[in-house]
Structure 1
Amino acid sequence: MALPRLTFLVHRGKDYTLQHYFKTWGAELRERVAIKTYPGVGATGRTWSKRLSRRLKALRTGTLPPGRTPPAGSVYVFTDLEIMASRESELVRALARRLEAAPGTTLFNDPARALTRFDLLRALSAGGVNSFGVEKLDRGVSPERWPVFTRDDRSHDDGSVSELLHSSGELSRHLDDLAAGGADLGHRTLVEYVGSPGEDGLFRKYAAIRLGDAIIPCHVFFGQHWVVKHSEVFDEATAREELKYIEANPHQEVLHRAFELAGIEYGRADYGVVNGRVEIWEINTNPYLIRPEYTQQETRRAALAAFSDRFNDALRELLDR
């Protein structure tokens, strides 16, 4: 049996994002892709530390664990880069260097150049994509504009870890609370807030996937709060708006530029549109494509199918090259 030409590499326990999609909406392509856990990444303890050191040494001296030779033209997609511990990142970078030595191999999200979280947002601001600034909390912060919020660099689930802070006094009290709770400020970022609800009073979170050369609109979520993690409003108007967004792909050009600045060929950009300008909040390198519960949201079925058709077409084109 021929080996898949495209392999997604994921952190231990993080394969569910892809497994669900390829069991359902992408089932026809499941046999053409591989989903594998990074070797040595995600375990804990002294024994793991010793194994990690041995694996790093093996990678650096040019010997890989025994296995089949990848087919010519293989594509390896590095995911979960934003949640790696430092030693894990070191191993993943070494793995990337060994894999790219194989003839015709392509790396998506090469860990040597892909930017995540803080570095990503700084690059997007410097590159003129975003208008807002970010600072590391442990470096001393002096926001140029208010309000601001703080967030954990290592987690997609927590999102922002504060409410909006409107003054230096509120920020100072928040920092005191974090310190009292033992928070590592080196992993927390202060973000200048930009955003506003639409004329209907709803906040919108847009999301689009990059896969190779393709930008594929994924969803629009609607909510009452400035942090929109999941859609809270399901009616005919929001269904029409979401489907129109997916079909029109209105922000393709600026999103492609943002992904290029980030050095990311596979991932999902989460963003808002403020006064007509795209403002990117993060790029997730191992996103859910379609969550299981979304299938039960009948008003969104047309939008989910439209996204899936476009994603599968882009994946098929990549596999058939």
Structure 2
Amino acid sequence: MKIIYVTVRHHRYTMRSYIEPLAEQGVDLTIWSYDNLLDAVRLPKAVYILSDFDRLHPWLWEVLGRYVDLIRAGGGKVLNDPRLFRPRHALIRTLKAEGINDYTCALPALGEWPERYPVFLRTLTAHRGVGSDLLEDRAAAEAALDTALKAGHAIADLLFIEFAAEPIEGARGPVYHKLSNYKIGEAVVPTNGVFQDVWEAKYGTVGAGSDESYARERAEMADDPNGPLVARVFEIARVDFGRVDYGFYKGRPQIYEINTNPMMHAVSRKAHPNADREEAIRIMRENVMTAFLALPVGVEAGVIDVGEIAGKPDLPVRTLRQP
């Protein structure tokens, strides 16, 4: 039973902690860069998870689409088809059109400016995170865009995103709460959220959440009240593997992004001081392992010849290299 996780060369660390736990259960998890995939003459018949699409060039999306077809025809499985990948701005606007989100984005390359504030500026690609503080009006947005362009960013890679989050009461005052769910094949798995006292809740602060919020998080590991909505978002985005990050604004869930190369820890680096949070993390990791173990079912051992793809003159397979 084999899973091959394919990502960009400098971001192969995200899944490493699951190699040993899966091996103990008879599943060989191998982590490849896209160069490994492109250089292969024969591919092991396995489950391939293609990741980190927003760090890839669209030309490579086309090449990888041929690999998806070949692997599936050869008896393997593929999670995530890059041909169906919705870039950040497209996903944001689609979710607004579907009535899921209450916010949208504006593309400076189209001469667009936000219709409501505050907003923040970020890049479409490279998964860099936010590129500005919260911008309260048009003048601040224009200044932030000018700063980004002078720093070397391309206008085609920039967008303004309307801010759609609000703080909740934490252990030591107001905090922002970012929630997340994984998609692993057919499974949608709730994971522990992030509590942080800044609007860009990213890594979290240990102990920032209240005892009540940690207890609620543990309870939601079982009933996952937002699971059906998150499953619909993954379906709309056509993503088979990744992590949805979301929060609440004026009482409604707001989907922020889908990360196709999420950081996943199989073990804790240190214990959390709250028992409910520790138990929620344990339940989440157990569910993640169950989902991973289900992926290789039905995939038999063997090899797949990739010569047909490598020989196509219209595809620059041997000349594409990724960071």
- TM-score, normalization by structure 2: 0.81
Partner of 1:48: none
> Residues 116 and 283 of structure 1 are in contact (CA less than 8 Å); yes or no, is this contact kept in structure 2?
no
Which AA in structure 2 matches 1:181? A
Over residues 125-172 of structure 1, what are the superposed CA-to-partner deviations in whole Å (9 max), with x where a residue is unaligned?
A: 22222111112222212222111111122233x321111111111111
> Residues 178 and 193 of structure 2 are in contact (CA less than 8 Å); yes or no, is this contact kept in structure 1?
yes
Gaps of at least 5 residues in structure 2 are 299-323
Partner of 2:16: 19
Match 2:205 to one of 224, 232, 256: 232
1:9 maps onto 2:6 in alignment: yes
Within 2, Cα distance between the matches of 1:30 and 1:155?
34
Runs of 4+ deviating beyond 6 Å: none
- Cα deviation, residue 13, structure 1: 2.7
Gap change, CA 1:75 and 1:171, over 3 Å in 2: same
Gap change, CA 1:163 and 1:29, over 3 Å in 2: farther
Give SS of 1:288's match.
Answer: coil
Over residues 281-306 of structure 1, what are the superposed CA-to-partner deviations in whole Å (9 max), with x where a residue is unaligned?
A: 11111111128765443534322211
> Residues 2 and 27 of structure 2 are in contact (CA less than 8 Å); yes or no, is this contact kept in structure 1?
no
Give SS of 2:168's match.
Answer: coil
Which AA in structure 2 matches 1:284? N
Match 2:272 to one of 289, 297, 303: 297
- Cα deviation, residue 98, structure 1: 2.5
1:39 maps onto 2:35 in alignment: yes
Match 2:112 to one of 113, 116, 141: 141
Alignment of 1:122-141 (within 5 A): 122-141=93-112
Partner of 1:83: 55
- Cα deviation, residue 193, structure 1: 1.0
Within 1, Cα distance between the matches of 2:206 and 2:40?
49
Within 2, Cα distance between the matches of 1:229 and 1:10?
21
Over residues 208-238 of structure 1, what are the superposed CA-to-partner deviations in whole Å (9 max), with x where a residue is unaligned?
A: 1011221101111111111101121416615
Over residues 232-280 of structure 1, what are the superposed CA-to-partner deviations in whole Å (9 max), with x where a residue is unaligned?
A: 1416615324323323312011101000010101000011022332211
Give SS of 2:82's match.
Answer: coil
Within 2, Cα distance between the matches of 1:258 and 1:23?
31
Gap change, CA 1:91 and 1:229, over 3 Å in 2: same
Gap change, CA 1:68 and 1:89, over 3 Å in 2: closer
Over residues 5-33 of structure 1, what are the superposed CA-to-partner deviations in whole Å (9 max), with x where a residue is unaligned?
A: 43222221322111123335x55347343
Partner of 2:241: 266
> Residues 62 and 82 of structure 2 are in contact (CA less than 8 Å); yes or no, is this contact kept in structure 1?
no
Q: What is the aligned residue count?
A: 291
Match 2:132 to one of 162, 168, 177: 162
Provide the aligned C-alpha RMSD in A: 2.4
Within 1, Cα distance between the matches of 2:201 and 2:156?
25
Give SS of 2:253's match.
Answer: strand
Partner of 2:68: 96
> Residues 47 and 296 of structure 2 are in contact (CA less than 8 Å); yes or no, is this contact kept in structure 1?
no
- TM-score, normalization by structure 1: 0.82
Give SS of 2:120's match.
Answer: strand
**Range moving further from structure 2, 172-181 or 208-217:** 172-181
Within 2, Cα distance between the matches of 1:21 and 1:106?
19
Within 2, Cα distance between the matches of 1:215 and 1:69?
27
Within 1, Cα distance between the matches of 2:268 and 2:43?
37
- Cα deviation, residue 186, structure 1: 1.2
> Residues 290 and 304 of structure 1 are in contact (CA less than 8 Å); yes or no, is this contact kept in structure 2?
no
Partner of 2:296: 319
